[in-house]
Amino acid sequence: MVGTAPKSAQKLNKFEKFKAEKDGLAVKADLDRFAAMGWEAVDETDLNQRLKWLGIFFRPVTPGKFMLRMRVPNGILSSQKMRVLAEVVKRYGEDGSADITTRQNLQLRGIHLEDIPDIFRRFEAVGLTSVQSGMDNVRNITGSPVAGIDAHELIDTRGLIRLVQDMITGNGQGNAAFTNLPRKFNIAIEGGRDNSVHAEINDVAFVPAYREGQLGFNVLVGGFFSARRCEAAIPLDGWVPPDETVVALCRAILEVYRDHGLRANRQKARLMWLIDEWGLDRFRQAVVAALGRDLLTAAPKDELDWDKRDHIGVHPQKQQGLNFVGLHVPVGRLTAGQMLDLARLAEVYGDGELRLTVEQNVIIPHIPDSRLGAFLQEPLLQTFSIQPSALTRSLVSCTGAQFCNFALVETKQRAIALARQLDTQLTLPQAVRIHWTGCPNSCGQPQVADIGLMGTKVRKEGKAVEGVDIYMGGKVGKEAQLGTCVQKGVACDDLPKVLTDLLIAHFGAQPRSLGDHNGHGPGTVTAIP
Ligand code: SRM
Ligand code: SF4
């Protein structure tokens, strides 16, 4: 099935109907026309839905100022690409900004539809693409942000992730074979020991495992979050060598999902619902048939045996004399100036490469020992600290009400303000991972956090106010586990007190006495744009 209605005789939901009428990718041919006529005149479904197939998101909260979601495979990009992205953002002055996302990706803001043809030409010139990054497509493919530079890594995933992206997107030009999936689809390929990508929350994840002495990947399937249901991925009972077989298996799983995934109820369309309906054995058999060759059974255990690292600070690379430095970017928000500065730092001190993490931070790799001293004096490190305080350090936040119409609360500003406030009031023996998400869609992954905060509306003193449901127990790295909701309906105004109590009771926090400080600064305290 290529860009057409699915084979089965299921009753189709309204999304399936508009996809069957016109494939999302077809708007590629309409872009010049859309740019010329202005967004107000664009057909409603093209505007609100199909443009997302090209990564172009109409934002009802800021009509006319679009969001552009890129693809950054394995979270790695060059300073040249970062500069092109920064120049795009810069055009839009105060409206322009970028966010590092929870899939180690970038989203640009403030974009005008009439500029898109020019922007896409600039992207193409440097090998950037935003194709198939939204709606019923395979999202940015994640991998360890220290792939190829981590002394303890098992498999360098950079090339594989690029191959899988190229297969799915037709080398960035768009591939109609995979633009009509029943729903979104997440792939992660982990080559390190610390499960830096949250393998368990992906529809397909590859995790390192030795089988009869040979290093390859065990395969997990069906992990996802949605407002209706959240599930950790389960073993497919499959093992693949770290070669082209990974690409072939991704293709086979996608074909099975595309041709047999459930399309009647959009709330029950993610891969796990098909696995539930069929049972794992039948699903595996269908994947093997699509693969057209044997799939070896899984290795008895995987090699995810480390706690998760956050990569902040200075770390020696496996290449002697070189270092990677993780900079803390508060809730992932970047200005054009900061993007240009990051590109400059990567060129002046490293080899021009930048890396993004699923914690919404940046890594600059390949900095020689001899250049570290000068690098650490750079003014940008006052804002993007390498020693953030305990709560600011591990903060993650989804977009929230500033730009997202699903949001029930404002997230990013509130997350930063609260973490900084609590950091000044409490000392903590270790960083505590607080994740904010503005609604039950869980883009900010509250279920993987030590403390997850999910936006909701609460009644307080007779009024509807912004509030959160609180999640706890998320465990990341080895033996990852999803957290669960422990408290419902806490008004945001009450959070300083409620979180202080939780931090004291569960994370060893102590109230600070006057003049007490933890030796680290939160970085220059500036509001995010
Ligand atoms: Fe998400 C929809 C933002 C990661 C689950 N997500 C949205 C939309 C597109 C809704 C919309 O149209 O406004 C949000 C765009 C807001 C904006 O303007 O930025 C949005 N999601 C994000 C990002 C930017 C959050 C962030 O601040 O980092 C992340 C972009 C990742 C990327 O680069 O592609 C993002 N979203 C996630 C994740 C986390 C992950 O992948 O690890 C999840 C949960 C994992 C999963 O999908 O299984 C996630 N987003 C959703 C869902 C629920 C999916 C479902 O099956 O029901 C929706 C709603 C939907 O698809 O209908 C959604
Ligand atoms: Fe928007 Fe909800 Fe996703 Fe946050 S969790 S970005 S509010 S859809």
Task: Based on the residue annotation, tell me whether 443 is a catalytic residue of this protein.
Answer: yes
Q: How far is the CA of 410 from the centre of ligand 1 (A)?
A: 16
Dihedral (C-alpha) 164, 168, 173, 174: value to the nearest 10 degrees? Answer: -170
Q: Ligand 1 centre from 360 Cα, in Å?
A: 14
- How far apart CA 397 and CA 410 sit, in angstroms, is 10
pLDDT in tens, 307-329: 999 999 999 999 999 999 999 99
List domains and CATH numbers for the chain: 1-12+132-309 (3.30.413.10), 56-130+311-386 (3.90.480.20), 391-511 (3.30.413.10)
164/185 Cα distance (integer angstroms):
13
Res 514: pLDDT: 61
Q: How far is CA 32 from CA 27, 58, 113, 228, 346, in A?
A: 10, 17, 10, 38, 35
Distance 405 CA to ligand 2 centre (A): 8
Residues constituting the chain: 529
Chain mean pLDDT for the chain: 95
Query: Is 101 close to ligand 1, i.e. is its CB under 6 Å away?
Result: yes
Atom of ligand 1 nearest to the CA of 224: 48
Q: Taking the CB of residue 174, how many other CB atoms lie within 10 A of it? A: 21
Q: Choose among 21, 70, 18, 28: nearest CA to 49.
A: 18
Exactly one of 50, 65, 69, 263 is catalytic; which is it? 69
Exposure of 417 in the CB half-sphere (CA atoms within 13 A): 11
| CB-based contact 246:217 (threshold 8 Å) | yes
CB 412 within 8 A of CB 331: yes
Alpha helices by DSSP H, listed for 196-300, are 244-260, 271-278, 280-291
Ligand 2, pocket-test mutation among 107, 443, 457, most atoms within 8 A of CB:
443
- Read out DSSP for 126-141? HT---TT-SSSSB-PP
Q: What is the pLDDT of residue 8?
A: 55
69 noted as active-site residue: yes
Return the DSSP state at 8.
S
498-514 in b/e form (b: 16+ CB < 10 A) is bbbebbeeebebeeeee
For position 519, what pLDDT does the model report?
Answer: 44
Q: Which residues of the chain have pLDDT under 50?
A: 1-5, 518-524
Q: How far is CA 4 from CA 25, 225, 254, 258, in A?
A: 12, 27, 15, 11
What pLDDT, on the 0 to 100 scale, is given for residue 517? 52
- For residue 396 and ligand 2, the question of a CB distance below 6 A is answered with no
Ligand 1 atom with minimal separation from the 360 CA: 28
What is the per-residue pLDDT for 11? 81
Residue 438 among the catalytic residues: yes
Ligand 1 site, residue 15, Cβ cutoff 6 A: no
Q: Report helix, strand or coil for 318.
A: coil
Q: What is the pLDDT of residue 417?
A: 98
pLDDT digits (tens, 9 = 90+) for 440-462: 999 999 999 999 999 999 999 99
Dig out the tokens for 408 from the structure. 């029930």
Does the pTM surpass 0.85? The reply is: yes
In a 10 Å sphere around its CB, with 0-12 CB exposed, 13-18 middle and 19+ buried, how is residue 22 labelled?
middle
3-state DSSP assignment of residue 239: strand
Q: Which atom of ligand 1 is the closest one to the Cα of 270?
A: 56
The predicted pLDDT at position 529 comes to 77
Indicate which atom in ligand 2 lies nearest the CA of residue 404: 1
371 is catalytic: no
